[in-house]
Structure 1
Amino acid sequence: MALSLSILYRGPLSSCNYACGYCPFAKRRESYADLAADREALSRFVGWVEARSGDRLSVFFTPWGEALTRRWYREVLVRLTNLPNVERAAIQTNLSCRLDWAARCDPAKLAIWATYHPGEVAREAFLGRCRELASLGIRHGVGVVGLKEHMDEIEALRRELPEDVYLWVNAYKREPDYYDEAALRFLEAIDPLFPVNNRRHPSLGRSCRTGHSVIAVDGSGTIRRCHFVPEVIGNLYEPGFESALVERPCPAPTCSCHIGYVHLDHLGLAEVFGGGILERIPEQPIWRR
């Protein structure tokens, strides 16, 4: 039986060219052997996708660090978006790479989750990359971490982005009561879904699409229901892995990351995001100037 499946792929790559203070992978470098292992794992995964010609697959790359500075990730997006069995190929990125490769992608299938990092890149340079994506007809959403010292940059970014580009804000949750009421109102005006992100959602025993129609896969093919539940439920490269794809309630007390809680049924976010659920772009505009 043909599958309809979204796969969150995170290979062994764990390096980044940026130095954000809150990130454990900032300015981290890997050996040639580590990079070769990542490239080999990615090639195996894409070969698997190509072989599943009867399925309907969507792939979302969620690397630890920045992947698009690596040629093999750029080439994989070209390959995936030109496969008839792939409905969407999306990736999280800081947009620091060149974008000429994207012209060889099917723009109807490629989607970019782009994050702006004030202090690591000039705003105008980042916006220039966004304009380049728009000129290629590629769907993209833009995000930023809601640090208090970046409030002016967040406001400027919203003002300078095209009105049809969604700007989401990731809440900074490492400090309790980090935001005062004025900051909460300000950020909700920028991103109406900020209050949803700024909490830990009770999830224990709740219905969630992860493990059934959405799975997380690592470089060895190990399948988990999502990135936040360590239990292994199968391996993508073993015959009969499909038997592990069953509905199961969430075993975690709470879920606080967008790529996890967006799949909790009771939150109704599948209806909000629709076909843009992987790249974090709502189906209909929900933001305002």
Structure 2
Amino acid sequence: MDLTLLYRGPLASCDYDCPYCPFAKRRDSTEQLRADRAALERFTGWVSDRTDDRLAVLFTPWGEGLVRSWYRRALVDLSRLPQVRRVAIQTNLSCRTDWLADADRDTLALWCTYHPGQTPYDRFLGTCRDLVARGVRFSVGIVGFPEHLEHARRLRAELPAHVYLWVNAAEGRTYTHAEAAEWTELDPLFAYSRHPHRSAGLPCRTGESVVSVDGDGTVRRCHFVPDELGNLYDGTYRQALRPRACPLAVCDCHIGYVHLESLPLYDVFAGGVLERIPARQAGR
């Protein structure tokens, strides 16, 4: 079986205070952190046992995972498994990077987001340069607020050319053609983020070759459709895997619409779908 898993455990704490994020500066209790660690270790154990499958894993925590040792360990361990073709995580890149020396950097990748006002620019850029020196695959992104534009321009100018800079349209924001053009100069693929994508009744890979998994092992087709397909650990999800149309009117998040078959994004991001690296930059 060839399957992509989007894993989101109970972790909800973050070390940043972004005004556009409902989980900013949220603190998990010691008990909650222990539960998250146990859930993640159960999941990585399941992946380790799937020696006859071909798997890809994207961690999409509500909080910041890489400041927790168990997420760093999970990425290293999974990157070294022969059945794992890619393992990636969404991160604000506030963590240290020495742990990456133990990972298989042909398999591991990072989806990094720069949040102006939350970390010094030079610190973030320095960490990006460290990733380049270590040979780590990664993309860098920013939310397309007007006050972020100059930060994004500076990033694009100072990041190596092979590092893709993506821009997420700010939720609920309508961009004029002039505004969109400014962001498109930095991210040629910004048009895919600018407007929600009509998805009702259209074929999507989620629920067939891509699934969402929570800390209890509940499997859903994606993070945005609540219907359950079964459980990862008892295998009941398997009988539910099949081609299916999207039940939602629109899809406006990259980790969702990238899997729509009506869009060409599997070709655009060939070799880098999980870490959001376009094909023209994935094969560096």
Query: Structure 2 length normalisation: TM-score?
Result: 0.97
**What do the CA deviations read for 1:1-50 (whole angstroms, capped 9, x no partner)?**
xx100000000000100000010110110100000000000000001001
Residue correspondence of structure 1 range 53-72 to structure 2 within 5 A: 53-72=51-70
Aligned residues of 2:230 and 2:236 also touching (Cα < 8 A): no
**What do the CA deviations read for 1:132-185 (whole angstroms, capped 9, x no partner)?**
11111110000000111111111111111111110000001324x2x2332111
Q: Report the CA distance shift for 1:235/1:266 in structure 2 as closer, same or farther (over 3 A).
A: same
Matched with 2:166 is 168
Aligned residues of 1:173 and 1:198 also touching (Cα < 8 A): no
Match for residue 211 of structure 1 among 207, 220, 227: 207
Matched with 2:139 is 141
SS at the partner of 1:275? coil
Percent same amino acid at aligned positions? 56
**What do the CA deviations read for 1:77-119 (whole angstroms, capped 9, x no partner)?**
1100011111111000000000111110000000000000100
Matched with 1:272 is 268
Matched with 2:128 is 130
Cα offset for 1:60? 0.2
Matched with 1:6 is 4
State the one-letter code of the partner of 1:232: E
SS at the partner of 2:67? coil
Match for residue 32 of structure 2 among 7, 31, 34: 34
Match for residue 83 of structure 2 among 82, 85, 102: 85
SS at the partner of 2:243? coil
State the one-letter code of the partner of 2:270: G
- The list of structure 1 runs, each at least 4 consecutive aligned residues, that deviate by more than 3 angstroms after superposition, is none
Cα offset for 1:266? 1.0
Cα offset for 1:241? 2.8
SS at the partner of 2:271? helix
SS at the partner of 2:20? coil
Q: Distance between the aligned counterparts of 2:200 and 2:252, measured in 1?
A: 13
**Unaligned 5+ residue runs, structure 1?**
none
Cα offset for 1:285? 4.0
Residue correspondence of structure 1 range 234-273 to structure 2 within 5 A: 234-273=230-269
Aligned residues of 2:6 and 2:58 also touching (Cα < 8 A): yes
Match for residue 181 of structure 2 among 176, 182, 185: 185
Q: Distance between the aligned counterparts of 1:22 and 1:42, measured in 2?
A: 27
Does residue 225 of the first structure (1) align with residue 221 of the second (2)? yes
**What do the CA deviations read for 1:191-232 (whole angstroms, capped 9, x no partner)?**
011111011111011010001100000000000000011111
Aligned residues of 1:113 and 1:140 also touching (Cα < 8 A): yes
Q: Distance between the aligned counterparts of 1:180 and 1:152, measured in 2?
A: 18
Q: Distance between the aligned counterparts of 2:194 and 2:181, measured in 1?
A: 12
**Unaligned 5+ residue runs, structure 2?**
none
Q: Distance between the aligned counterparts of 1:227 and 1:106, measured in 2?
A: 28
Query: Structure 1 length normalisation: TM-score?
Result: 0.96
Cα offset for 1:66? 0.5
Does residue 51 of the first structure (1) align with residue 79 of the second (2)? no
